[in-house]
Amino acid sequence: MSQAPVLPAIGLGTFRLKDQEVKDAVKSALDLGYRHIDTAQFYDNEEAVGEAIRESGIPRHELFITTKVWHDFLDSDKPVESLKESLQKLGTDYVDLALIHWPSPDNAVPMAHYIGKLNEARELGLTKHIGISNFTIAQVDEALAAPGGAHIVTNQIEVHPYLQNKKLVKHCQDKGLQVTGYMPLAVGKVMKDPVLEDIGKAHGVTPAQVALAWVAQKNIVVIPSSTKPAHQKANLAALDVRLSDSEMEKINALDAGERIANPDFAPQWDQ
């Protein structure tokens, strides 16, 4: 297990962005100084993300690219083969981080198999690091105990003021895993929150920046999705906002267990 932070503190999420829209978003983010781009097989945008990266002219070694293996590709040799396909689409020889996007629904494919295969991809040089996404406390422990599981560096999970996933976050961090928080702005809900508005006014920043600062201050990597350069710039600047303990506590009190990403194949979540 890696104790040092492997991932850049902020990245650009690309979920739901396609074609020219994702190309423009990635290019403007890279222009602004982002170096961490998060995509996935399921997003169906790896090709466009790869084009934007190439057109940016930024040397590959300066970038941190994450992709994720979809749960249809967990059995036999598919984790490795599908990752090779992702690399082809992205136009790169390797990704910096490959995640299992969701644990196998109903445990149809044994976890020891696909974690082992993901580590095999790491040994083949297809990815520098491996990780998991949407894994519960019990699944984190199972993954870490699997062959190759010692190389897992992160669990990417939903984290925002209304779903704080406190037990899971603490468990991952206690195990030496970096937590990556997706949907940190709760798909825009944070913009209208009076608590975040008040705190934002005190700092001269937006409620969205307050939400990102709160996640980042919990030592969680943030990957907000944004297509507007002005918002991308503001998201980057949010990492410079320092919230007081009392401000952090006020946001902690907003936790309501409001889960956004909850497909029918999701695991039995921790309460």
Q: What order of strands is seen across the sheet that includes strand 178-182?
A: 12-13, 36-38, 64-69, 95-100, 127-133, 152-158, 178-182, 220-222
Helix, coil or strand: residue 246: helix
Helix, coil or strand: residue 100: strand
> Contact, 239 vs 10, CB < 8 A?
yes
* Domain assignment of residue 139, yes or no: yes
* Domain assignment of residue 229, yes or no: no
Helix, coil or strand: residue 23: helix
Taking 3-state DSSP, the helix, strand and coil percentages for the chain, each rounded to the nearest 5, stand at 50, 15, 35
Q: If residue 99 lies in a helix (H) or strand (E), which one and from where to where? A: strand 95-100
Give the domain CATH number at 155: 3.20.20.100
* Domain assignment of residue 223, yes or no: no
Residue 40 sits in which domain range?
A: 12-185
Tell me the catalytic residues: 43
C-alpha angle with apex 154: 151 to 157, nearest 5 degrees?
150
| Angstrom distance (rounded) from CA 131 to CA 124 | 16
* Domain assignment of residue 266, yes or no: no
Beta-ladder partners of 38 = 13, 66
The per-residue pLDDT for 127 is 98
* Domain assignment of residue 55, yes or no: yes
The per-residue pLDDT for 5 is 67
| Two tokens, residue 159 | 């984290």
Q: Which 8-state DSSP code applies to residue 190? A: G
* Domain assignment of residue 171, yes or no: yes
Size (the chain), residues: 271
The per-residue pLDDT for 271 is 79
The per-residue pLDDT for 52 is 98
| Two tokens, residue 43 | 């997003």
State how many domains the chain has: 1
* Domain assignment of residue 101, yes or no: yes
Say whether 101 counts as a known binding-site residue.
yes
* Domain assignment of residue 85, yes or no: yes
pLDDT tens for the chain, 271 residues long, are: 445 569 999 999 999 999 999 999 999 999 999 999 999 999 999 999 999 999 999 999 999 999 999 999 999 999 999 999 999 999 999 999 999 999 999 999 999 999 999 999 999 999 999 999 999 999 999 999 999 999 999 999 999 999 999 999 999 999 999 999 999 999 999 999 999 999 999 999 999 999 999 999 999 999 999 999 999 999 999 999 999 999 999 999 999 999 999 999 999 999 7
CA atoms within 13 A on the CB side of 23: 9
